[in-house]
A and B are shown apart, each in its own frame.
Chain A
């Protein structure tokens, strides 16, 4: 059993598991932090961005000044943003049989895999994952395609040139494999390969293994996966949450008794408690708005935003903010808000019960009804007519490199009355802000990551007790910035195995058993013999028939009838050579009694030595050794066949035959 690790990002995993005869890809996350190296794509012509000076080498050589621009001491690539794909060279991705998706954030690289690697298999995911994943992809494609950029920089990727660049460009990994965003056509084609599954549904893969999605509690439709054969169980835990937010709670019980548990997608900010962060978010929002400032919340169009809107729903009246407009701007804003209301079966119990009242499960429906929350596909069109300040705007993309957020950063960045509040944990807020410097607006970092923290992980592992844990290397040591925080790492016994990008792990367990069925008529013919109370043995002579990874013992064909001499024997009539089998032996040899028997039969000068595995009976006179071990007995004598047969018969007296 092997694990091929194609992504180094612990929360955007992409691993391939080879288990029995199957090749299973677990998630295909897309690392978008690469876009932080690019200049933002403004929706409206931005003189500031277009007038940024080109970057030149220390010696004044300015051949890169078209590709690289400098802003407040940082250098950015002036080109269409590109993404860092999972490894494609480590394993032939056309051999992947299935792809299991855990949540909509972990499927963003899907079109790259399904459309460009010769992938022929099936993708499994839950319905909300697919629908919201589609929205995220649609938004991404829309954000990038609506600001066409003529230029595509590639010079800087040259290894020799990259070395000369300042950090972080210099240290960017695998830049040559970075790719531009996929198209909507590719997205549609990729999504068409997905087969929908429900929680706890058992899916057979070629008869060899069974895969089952379990609720992971992190997002709508988010799942962990169980991959099991008859005697082995691998759990894949990715993006799970034990907090009470909108999705169905996490199913922990089903993870019990795993041989291997692959643990990914823990919280990216283990020191930030989501509840405290929501409190911080509300306080800062209120403070800014009361002061007459605007609040910008860069976010994804689905996920935490639902919870934030719910908190604000409860908070705005008490904080006297009822008159402040909330805007949600995204090409998929409408679909996202509506989708959330129809996936009732995927929601937590509280929200499910609302549906029967009937009420919309999320209170944002009421915010929309009362005109407190308004949503628009983009800043163009209706929004510009309705726009009123001070206000709160939720919009993407959280990297601040594309999407409507770029416009608001340009618009509000100059005033210290305004605040940008970062709630998505995927991007470093300081790096995200770098191309907007100098910035007057206040910046608040309230990352809300509801995924498991290390305390919860350690409780979970104690509860489900896997034999082995495998996790990204980042989880096996404290974060570099807080090296003393020994509590911020996975702590389990035996210690977790770690992996990094482009590594292949041999998982530390061997398959010992395989299930074989016996045909009833064959079973009928068996004559078990009880050799110990409760244990019976029988010899089986059968034909092993293997098809679709299922093994069946069938009765052997009857011995061929004597045929007429004239008839030629056909090849198909060949039957296995059924020799008369020697009887099987069982039991153990009691050394003392054996020695007594030997003495009775005239052997003298017998010496017994204890060894690690059993005993050696030494017949010194006869220069013969009898080695008795748990699973074997050897008589070693010098070419004296008579003596050997005598001794053998004495040994056999102590054993049962059948």
Chain B
């Protein structure tokens, strides 16, 4: 502990112990606890208490019957727990009878303060901290704390109840870890009394008819098997698993969600997953739970690396069931693909689908979401039923837009439940997008594009559904490139393209800005991939899309303008933004895309479009876009000028990024640097001076937004590295300019921003660069901006200041 904190501590303890000076802010106490925790973890708690008797006094003070606030009481309990985590300190506190006083019957447990949830929570957390060593275990057993913990499991405050459960896990771990360490599956009679007591309690709960008690026990066990890896967990599971299995025989199964969590927790535990009984219980759970309840269990099982194949098949069929049902509902002929063949398929009774709309929708959405997560995993079920899944998703989407023809009464009901359901549409489109990773029969792929087009065309598609439909379409277009990786579209996709552009045209005119925005994003992505491809170019140039995109640069919604900027950037870099012939004013020359974007950068009132412009310029420069590549200096100069004056810090960062790319093009790439040849360097520096980069960069060093300063620092360091190769120290120049530059820099640092730098000579720049300690500046900037305010000293001062113990001049008010 640093001396200043040590000096402030007695005063702080006095404040905390004084009920007349309430601490207003709970977070201060939390921070204080964090600090003490850090201090005790770094050194001896005992020593700390001996050096600072005020702390023990504070704890003793709490024991006195008085009107202390519940938050201070809670704080003291937690603080005592932190100190007592070390065994010698525990004993020190025991000698003073402090711990029984705090955590035993005489303490708050029996007092009125116990009614406050924060006190109960502090009591649990204190015990949780101190339960680290055998002495603590004895203390817990002797003080009767375990019974209190049992009762706190049902506490009305959820935080307290949950913490009580975790404390039980801690107790169990502490009790069993020691004696059973290293032994294979110790038997229950070997266990310490404390552990036996907890386990008996858990058994009682599992046998209970009251679902909340069962749930508590299941939560404790889930946490135990999730966090404890000791071999003793095998013994525990062996003892309790029959009770867990018996829960599954009840009708209805109590606490299904907690049960699923427990089974998955056990299955994931490396110590327990070899138990064959576990898989039987899991299989039983899959068959006993309703499809909605079993879904998460099935998905969890399928994500496991090792588990019996039969169980995987069972789990997979649970996830497939709702989709299989959908397929059945429209199956016209026996030839249609089936998802579940044989026994599993026959098991599925149509009526098992939930009768209520919300349950049915929930089941379908969760099945789709689980399958979506499974698809990319290496351990996903094999063979993966790609074709029936595709057919099922297409059918779901058809049900949702009312175009599917159900073949049965159940199908009719399903149709009525799903029609117009946005939730299912979104889930199905997401999954359809993921399915593009696999191939499908041509006929199905045709259907996929057809249904996607239907959704894109339909006026009833909500903006979110439309966005997902665009995303799925893009994924399918990408996957239909032949051969994979090649940029050419498949003939079918080329046919779709015409219709897509017609849709896009209409969508770009939508009165709903979200729709215009996702349309533009889709266009940008498409152009990125196929901008160089003949049929795409032809189709695009034959449509109104490029002109509409250009018009959307003036959209009233800033997000749309930003997307339009990106789209214009992408279109023009492929030469797809031909200057339109204005029917009204054929003579008026149109602005080039470069000019148009520069206009956005300089005039747009919102940040998003300006940021987008900066990204486009950076991309253009990096990729050598013709208009920019012709004369990079000429193109970059006005952009940098505008960016340097921008009020949005992200635009300024982007500006520096653009400068960095420009610099790389002049001096070679970043990396373990080699100095640039002197001739190139001089030329580059002159160019940089001409575009007034240095004024921007130096000014940014003192920008009030730290990312800007960091970026600028990086840029100047890069330049410095290029200018002064390692090992060679050049003479620090002392030309007439240097002094004035440094003077300007000092003024900027002091916050005076008005002073311009004026004309700079390359030599002066170099000299200034060499004289600056940019590395040190980088390190300072790397520290978070509140590092001063976060120090413990500042915390103690703040707390004292709020109660007026410190003089005003000492307060660190922020």
**Residues of the B chain whose Cβ atoms lie less than 8 Å from the Cβ of A282:** 509-511
Residue in chain A with minimal CB distance to B407: A484
- Asked if B402 is at the interface (CB within 8 A of a chain A CB), the reply is yes
Residues of B within 8 A of A273 (CB): 459-460
Would you call B506 and A283 a contact (CB within 8 A)? yes
The interface residues of chain B lying within 8 Å CB-to-CB of A280 are 459, 506
- Please tell me if the beta carbons of A287 and B402 are within 8 angstroms of each other in the complex: no
Contact A277 B459 (CB under 8 A): yes
- Name the B residues within 8 Å of A287 (CB-CB): 505-506, 509, 544
Query: Does B551 lie within 8 Å of A486, measured CB to CB?
Result: no
Residue contacts A-B, CB under 8 angstroms, 16 given: A276-B460, A282-B509, A283-B511, A286-B509, A287-B509, A290-B548, A290-B551, A318-B511, A318-B556, A319-B509, A484-B406, A484-B411, A485-B402, A485-B416, A486-B412, A486-B413
Q: B31-43, CB under 8 A of A: which get 1 and which 0?
A: 0000000000000
A320 CA to B507 CA in the complex, in Å? 15
Q: Cβ of B419: which chain A residues have Cβ within 8 Å of it? A: 485, 487
Q: Mark B507-534, 1 if CB is under 8 A from A, else 0.
A: 1011110010000000000000000000
A-chain residues with CB within 8 Å of residue B458 when the two chains form the complex: 276
Interface residue? A593 (CB, 8 A): no
Instruction: Name the residue among A276, A277, A283, A318 with the largest chain B CB count within 10 angstroms.
Output: A283
Residue in A279, A317, A485, A486 whose CB lies within 8 Å of B512: A279
Is B583 an interface residue, CB under 8 A from the partner? Answer: yes
User: Which residues 572-588 of B sit at the A interface, judged by CB distance below 8 A?
Assistant: 583
Bits for B390-433, please: 1 = Cβ < 8 Å to A, else 0: 00000000000010111000011101100100000000000000
Residues of B within 8 A of A277 (CB): 459
A486 touches B511 (CB 8 A): no
Bits for A287-331, please: 1 = Cβ < 8 Å to B, else 0: 100111000000000000000000100110111100000000000
Let me know if A617 is at the binding interface, CB within 8 A.
no
Write out the residue numbers on chain A whose beta carbons fall within 8 Å of the beta carbon of B18.
none
How many Å from the CB of A360 to the closest CB on chain B? 23
Is B785 an interface position by the 8 A CB rule? no
Excluding A279-B510, A282-B510, 16 further A-B contacts by CB distance (< 8 Å) are A273-B459, A276-B459, A276-B460, A280-B506, A283-B506, A283-B507, A284-B506, A287-B505, A290-B551, A315-B511, A318-B557, A319-B509, A446-B459, A484-B406, A486-B413, A486-B416
How long is the Cα–Cα vector from A317 to B556 in the complex, in angstroms?
9
Chain A residues closer than 8 Å to B515, beta-carbon distance: 279
Asked if A271 lies at the interface with its beta carbon under 8 angstroms from chain B, I say yes
> What is the bound-complex CA distance between A424 and B399, given in angstroms?
27
Nearest-Cβ distance from residue B695 to partner chain A, whole angstroms = 38
Docked pose: A553 CA to B402 CA in angstroms: 62
Is B555 interfacial (CB 8 A cutoff)? yes
Report Cα–Cα, A282/B513, bound state, in Å. Answer: 13
Of A286, A290, A314, A485, which contacts B415 at CB under 8 A? A485
Q: Across the interface, which residues of A come within 8 angstroms of B287, CB to CB? A: none
A242 to B415, CA, bound (A): 24
How many angstroms between the C-alpha atoms of A319 and B413 in the bound complex?
Answer: 42
Is A278 an interface residue when CB atoms closer than 8 A count as contact? Answer: yes
B554 at the interface (CB under 8 A from A): yes
A279 cross-chain contacts in B, Cβ below 8 A: 459, 510-512, 515
Distance from A492 Cβ to chain B, minimum over Cβ atoms (Å): 14
B interface: dominant SS = loop
Smallest CB-CB separation from A292: which chain B residue?
B583
Which of B415, B459, B557 is A486 in contact with, Cβ under 8 Å? B415
Give chain B residues whose Cβ lies under 8 Å from the Cβ of A292.
583
Contact of B544 among A290, A317, A446, A485 (CB under 8 A): A290
- Report B-chain residues with C-beta under 8 Å of the C-beta of A314: 511
| In the assembled complex, A51 has its CB within 8 A of some CB on chain B | no
A280 to B551, CA, bound (A): 19
In the complex, the chain B residue whose C-beta lies closest to that of A318 is: B556
Nearest CB of chain B from residue A297's CB, rounded to whole Å: 16
Contact A290 B416 (CB under 8 A): no
A385 within 8 A of B: no
- Nearest CB of chain A from residue B588's CB, rounded to whole Å: 16
CB of B724 to closest CB in A, whole Å: 54
Residues of A within 8 A of B557 (CB): 318
What chain A residues lie within 8 Å of B512 (beta carbons)? 279
Report the nearest B residue to A487, measured CB to CB.
B416
In the complex, chain A residues whose CB is within 8 Å of the CB of B412: 484, 486
Binary contact readout A48-60 vs B (1 if CB under 8 angstroms, 0 otherwise)? 0000000000000
Chain A residues within 8 Å of B411, by CB? 484
Q: In this assembly, does A482 line the interface, its C-beta being within 8 Å of a C-beta of chain B? A: yes
Task: Give which listed residue, B510, B511, B554, contacts A320 with CB less than 8 A.
Answer: B554
Q: Which residues of A are found within 8 Å of B460, using beta-carbon distances?
A: 271-273, 276
- Quick one: which of A484-531 are within 8 Å of B by CB? 484-487
* Known A282-B509, A287-B506, A291-B544: A271·B459 in contact at CB below 8 Å: no
| Complex-state Cα separation, A78 to B813, whole angstroms | 91
Of all chain B residues, which has the CB nearest A311?
Answer: B511
B415 touches A320 (CB 8 A): no
Which chain A residues in 469-489 approach chain B with CB under 8 Å?
A: 482, 484-487
| Bound: A282/B507 CA distance, A | 10
Q: For A317, give the chain B residue with the smallest CB separation.
A: B556
Indicate which residue in A317, A320, A484 contacts B551 across the interface (CB closer than 8 Å). A320
Instruction: Give the distance in Å from the alpha carbon of A446 to the alpha carbon of B402 in the complex.
Output: 18
Shortest Cβ gap from A595 to chain B (Å): 50
Report the nearest B residue to A491, measured CB to CB.
B416
Cβ < 8 Å to B, chain A residues 243-301? 271-273, 276-280, 282-284, 286-287, 290-292
- A residues in contact with B556, CB < 8 Å: 317-318
A313 to B509, CA, bound (A): 15
CA of A487 to CA of B401, assembled, Å: 12
A373 CA to B406 CA in the complex, in Å? 48
A318 to B515, CA, bound (A): 14
Which residues of chain B (535-557) have a CB below 8 Å from chain A? 544, 547-548, 551, 554-557
User: How far is B415's CA from A484's CA once the two chains are assembled, in angstroms?
Assistant: 8
Residues of chain A within 8 A (CB-CB) of B509 are 282-284, 286-287, 290, 319
Determine the distance from Cα of A286 to Cα of B516 in the docked complex, in whole angstroms: 13
Expressed in whole angstroms, the minimum distance between the Cβ of A217 and any Cβ of chain B is: 21
Most chain A CB atoms below 10 A, which of B411, B419, B461, B507? B419
Q: Which of chain B's residues has its CB closest to A315's CB?
A: B511
- Contacts A276-B460, A290-B548 given: A271-B507 contact, CB under 8 Å? no
A residues within 8 A CB of B507? 283
Q: Select A487's contact among B415, B510, B555, beta carbons within 8 Å.
A: B415
**B412 to A, closest residue via Cβ:** A486
Nearest chain A CB to B553's CB is how many angstroms away? Answer: 11
- Given the complex, which residues of B lie within 8 Å of A484, measured CB to CB? 404-406, 411-412, 415
A304 vs chain B, min Cβ distance (A)? 16
- In the bound complex, how far is the Cα of B455 from the Cα of A323, in angstroms? 33
Interfacial chain A residues near B544, Cβ < 8 Å: 287, 290-291
Of all chain B residues, the one with the shortest Cβ separation from A482 is B402
CB distance from A320 to the nearest CB of B (A): 6
A291 to B511, CA, bound (A): 17
A14 to B516, CA, bound (A): 45
**Central interface residue in B402, B458, B548, B583, by most chain A CB within 10 Å:** B402
Q: Which residues of A contact B459 (CB under 8 A)?
A: 272-273, 276-277, 279-280, 446
A271 and B551 contacting across the interface, CB-CB below 8 Å: no
In the bound complex, how far is the Cα of B127 from the Cα of A242, in angstroms?
Answer: 59
Kindly list the 10 A-B residue pairs having the minimum CB-CB distance in the complex, ordered from nearest: A487-B416, A276-B459, A286-B509, A280-B459, A283-B509, A318-B556, A282-B511, A486-B412, A276-B460, A283-B506
A283 cross-chain contacts in B, Cβ below 8 A: 506-507, 509-511
Q: Give the CA-CA distance A272 to B460 in the complex, in Å.
A: 7
* Residue in A closest to B330 when the chains form the complex, CB atoms: A484
Residues of A within 8 A of B548 (CB): 290
Shortest A245–chain B CB gap in Å is: 16
Smallest distance from the beta carbon of A322 to chain B beta carbons, Å?
12
B406: A residues at CB distance < 8 A: 484
Give min CB distance, A371 to chain B, whole Å: 19
Query: What residues on B are CB-neighbors of A317 within 8 Å?
Result: 556
Of chain B, the residue at the smallest CB distance from A276 is B459
